[in-house]
Structure formats: C-alpha cells, structure tokens
C-alpha cells in the first residue's frame, strides 16, 4: 500500500511560520502583583498578541500572590513568566516581554531567518 502524502496547508500570515490561520494560542502570564515589571509584561504581551494574533489567542494573567498553588503546579521560578500552552510545543518566557523579536520567535510567529535579519545577523 502506498503511503499517503499530505499537502502542507500552512500559509504565511502575520509573519506566522507554518501555522494555519485559525490556530488558537493559549497563553498564561504569571506576575507578582502590580509591580512595574509585572505591569510592563502585561502591557507588552497584550500589544504583541493584538498585533500578531488578533482574534486567535486567549491570554490568562495569573497573580502568583493570589494563586500560589497554580504557580507551584506550573513550576514557576521567576516572575513574570509567560507560558505558551497551545499550540504545542509548550514554551516558557521569563522577563517583562520587552524583547518582541524573541517572543515572536518563541511563539513561532517569525522564522529564525527573520529573527536573524531583524537582529542584524545572517545565517
């Protein structure tokens, strides 16, 4: 029996690499209260999501002071921490989310070539 061949239905949309346009992102941002770093992380990730994932994401903000059990379950060791639950693979980002290029690369919203070009490096 001949193996099935699959066509790659992925398209480049909003800089996405190999991701169908309908793919939903499930993100969880862990913060520590209303510190300046936490507020900056919330603002930055919301801006990134609205610019690159508009209508395709769910962002849950978790204050580890109010939900320490959830932070323990997710093994959060620093704050702010963003977890990309879906689409797989799971990824974690630590910091105030100001490095947009790294976040886009980690969320698979830009390729390594695009990342290298944006940072003045050539592959």
Q: Which two tokens stand for residue 116?
A: 């290298």
Which structure tokens are listed for 113? Answer: 């070539």
Identify whether 99 is part of a domain.
Answer: yes
Query: Does 3 reside within a domain?
Result: no
Q: Find the CATH number of the domain harbouring 89.
A: 3.40.30.10
pLDDT score of 93 = 97
Compute the Cα dihedral for 43, 39, 81, 99 and give only its sign: positive
68 within domain boundaries: yes
Q: What is the pLDDT of residue 53?
A: 96
**8 within a domain of the structure (yes/no):** no
Domain total for the chain?
A: 1
pLDDT at 5: 37
Per-residue pLDDT of the chain (123 residues; tens, 9 = 90+): 444 433 333 333 333 444 445 689 999 999 999 999 999 999 999 999 999 999 999 999 999 999 999 999 999 999 999 999 999 999 999 999 999 999 999 999 887 666 556 666 654
- Asked if residue 13 belongs to a domain, the reply is no
> Could you tell me the residue range of the domain that residue 99 belongs to?
25-118
What pLDDT score was predicted for residue 7? Answer: 38
In a domain, 10, yes or no: no
Looking at residue 113, what is its pLDDT? Answer: 67
Residue with tokens 């490095």: 99
Q: What is the pTM of this model?
A: 0.75
Q: Is 62 part of any domain? A: yes
> Does residue 106 form part of some domain?
yes
Give 19's strand partners. 11
């Amino acid at each position: 029996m001949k193996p099935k061949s699959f066509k790659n239905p992925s398209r480049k949309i909003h800089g996405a690499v190999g991701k169908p346009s309908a793919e939903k992102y499930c993100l969880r941002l862990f913060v520590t209260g209303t510190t300046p770093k936490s507020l900056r992380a919330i603002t930055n990730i919301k801006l990134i999501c609205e610019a690159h994932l508009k209508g395709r994401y769910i962002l849950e903000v978790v204050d580890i002071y109010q939900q320490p059990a959830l932070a323990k379950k997710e093994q959060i060791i620093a704050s702010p921490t963003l977890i990309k639950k879906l689409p797989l693979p799971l990824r974690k980002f630590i910091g105030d989310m100001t490095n947009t290029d790294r976040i886009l690369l980690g969320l698979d919203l830009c390729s390594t070539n695009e990342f290298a070009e944006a940072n003045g490096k050539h592959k």
